[in-house]
Structure 1
Amino acid sequence: MELEKEIPSPKSTHAPLSAVSALTGEIISPLRRLQQMDADDWEEFTCELATYWKTQYLRVNRVGGAGDMGRDVIAYTPDGSWENFQCKYYSSPLNLADVLLEIGKLCYHSHQGHFSMPTKYYFVVKSGLNGVSLNALKDSNKLKAELISGWDKKCKDKITKKKSVSLEGDFLKFVENDVDFTIFDQIPQLKLIELHKNHTPYYIRRFGALEFDRPAPATPPNDIQNNELKYISELLKAIESIEAQVSSIEDLEAFPNFLMELKSARKNFYSAESLEKFSRDSMPPDTYENLLEDCYEATSSLILMVHNNGWDKYLGRDAYLVLWYSSPFG
């Protein structure tokens, strides 16, 4: 008998709620967005990727439809050869039978003289390939053996609606001797997303700029770290401008209010550091720098005011922080 277990707390209770999440709900990762595409979205996504492929080839054409002869997106190279991107919209990973059928169509129509064999053939599949298919693609000899042994069951009556296609005679010799099975490969889902992100102008429109919820800011360590020494030094100068007895962190022990401000300032410093790291890893280039520029433009008149001392100028940063934490990233 299975023992009852208390339901654990949802993960969402342990993560800070950002302004964006409050407005739109949970951030959906690019991989999940890719897997949730419908047939129309997948076709558009493929066409968007083709804008990158166009820069790599002489020209790129889309075939599609029932008479594609095992070809989908055809990329022609300057030397007269071609490569094929076989795009499949399936809700589940592509199985070996589907892989063998597409390869079978290609081999048959090439043997019939409709076109030469491509130099590369990529499966581009929304839900990826299952383990058996991936293992077959990794071993060209195994892939060839699977096609030959499984031909009657997986390909013979599915190559064309006009007739059954037997794997025998010259056609069998062609498959055994002339077809290079090392040309067959796949483009993994994460690689598709990477190509789309780095080489097309459509990425943010399709997947959004935010890929992850902003994590909770790092907690300041007990000891002052090298990366915050300059920040702390400037804070001490501001305090010293109104309290001459303060020239080091140890001096703050005699001034509880300043010591409390130091702790608050360090939290702000590590929050800013965490935001910079998050922006660098998860946002478009220069997002963090643009945010800093916007904040400065909004507070520059206050910062450039003539202050009685460094402490007054430091306190002016409150307006900066209000703007900072009311931003979409706060």
Structure 2
Amino acid sequence: MRSSRRQPQGRVNAPKDWGSRGLALFIKDGCRRDGGALRRCPGQQIRLRRAASALAVRTGRPVAEGPLREPSTDNAWFSHVAFPGDADFEDANFTGDAGFGNVTFTGNARFSSAAFTGNAWFSDATFTHDADFDHLTFARDAQFSGARFERAPFLGPLNCGPLLNLSEAIFSVPVTIQVAAEEVRCVRTRWDATVSLRLRYAKVDLSDAVVTQPTAVTTHPTPFPNMPASDFTGEPTVKMTSLRGVDTAHLVLTDTDLSSCVFTGAFHLDQLRLAGRTQFASVPTGIIRHACCP
């Protein structure tokens, strides 16, 4: 009779080369793998402050309860993991790609002052309490598509590289989002309460976003305080690329560039409020011919 060796759902795939491939934690429904055996640790705070290292797991020791000495990891994957308590990744330096797809944070998720050198995936993650992503740096894409923020009042300030993707994300409480990025994508994003998007440099796509409460998109004129220097240069003006399918009755745009924005299918454009300095497309030049009246 062939034995089943199916990997339990929610367990993180362990790289064969522990030392070079970095972080590998085995967590399923509040359990952790220590020395080859799953041990129940309900409500325990998982701390990876200043580092998230596989060395503790590799040697069979529990994940450190205090700061670790080596502040870096290679690729780190946490797909379908449920953190039973607070998850603390403050000051962690992820030197490779990091995946938190379909992760459930049942406690506070702390990523303050962390740095992601590779791509970061938080797609379909659920944050049931605070999600501390302040003073954070994403050198490459930051994917939060389909993520659910149930009680997080802030996202940022953070520096992103090419893309911050919030498409199909759900924000259940009033939230302030502060981001410097090349592009902020909010396709079919749903805000169930008021939202303030304070952005720098970004091209913003709000196609089919669900806006039911007062929503503000503003160019933040000065760098966010206590943030590391970014590679962005020039004017930080936010460029709106699409309001396709959006009900703009609750939308306020401040100091934005609308010269290339698509308005097709937008609702209540007569109630769209523009504040500050708004840039529009230039008037076409050249000779305009009119047909002669008979």
TM beyond 0.5: no
Higher strand share: 2
How high is the TM-score relative to the length of structure 2? 0.23
Tell me the TM-score normalised to structure 1 length: 0.21
Structure number, greater radius of gyration: 1
- Which structure: greater helix fraction? 1
